[in-house]
Amino acid sequence: NSGSFQDAEEKYLRLLEESKMFPENVKAFVRNLVKNTPKVSRCLHGDLQTGNLILDDKNAYFIDLGEFACGNPLYDLGCYYYFCHYLPDDFLLATHYVNAAMMRKCWDVFAKFYFGADTPEKLATVDAQVKPYVLFPILDFEHLLAESQNLKYLEMNFQVAKKDLGL
């Protein structure tokens, strides 16, 4: 029971119905993905990415908890994967102070320690498992950026994600 925190699945299904960007075939894919994602209730950041992490010598602190929810960690992992694989250099350099190649390296190191993906084959398996979940941060950002200049990045990234997922 997620108590008073929003349920990630309910949020994403609501955003999916409101989406103007996702065509019906992608909406069907997302509904099926939600249906087949194992049901667990874990704390989710909701916007898991390096820009929301502060590190010091001993600790890590997550900030910007406005999208906090409960659900399967795959939703957060999809957000981190999205930031590490789908954003262009100019956006990443302006917002995260690293380029796209460095973000991909961040993902590879994270996957090695989080999933035990210590070979290219294991990393490819993890990527295939997590990649479909990039659609959820795109839903979030479509809603949050509806009136923003950054919507152009989102629309471009959505087209790349659709192609990557064969949709």
Give yes or no for a contact between 42 and 70, defined as CB atoms under 8 angstroms apart: yes
CB atoms within 10 A of CB 54: 10
Average pLDDT over residues 22-28: 97
pLDDT at position 4 over 90: no
Q: What is the Cα 71 distance to its own chain's centre? A: 13
Predicted confidence at residue 122, as pLDDT, reads 98
Average pLDDT over residues 57-65: 87
Average pLDDT over residues 83-89: 93
Average pLDDT over residues 6-24: 95
pLDDT at position 1 over 70: no
Contacts of 84 by beta carbon, 8 Å cutoff, 6+ apart: 103, 104, 106, 107, 110
Average pLDDT over residues 28-46: 95
Mean pLDDT taken over the chain? 91
pTM (2 d.p.): 0.88
Predicted confidence at residue 3, as pLDDT, reads 58
Average pLDDT over residues 8-33: 96
| Token reading at 158 | 């959505």
Average pLDDT over residues 21-32: 97
Give the whole-number percent of the chain exceeding pLDDT 90: 65
The span from the CA of 129 to the CA of 107, in Å, is 14
Average pLDDT over residues 144-149: 74
pLDDT at position 147 over 80: no
Predicted confidence at residue 144, as pLDDT, reads 81
Give the whole-number percent of the chain exceeding pLDDT 70: 97
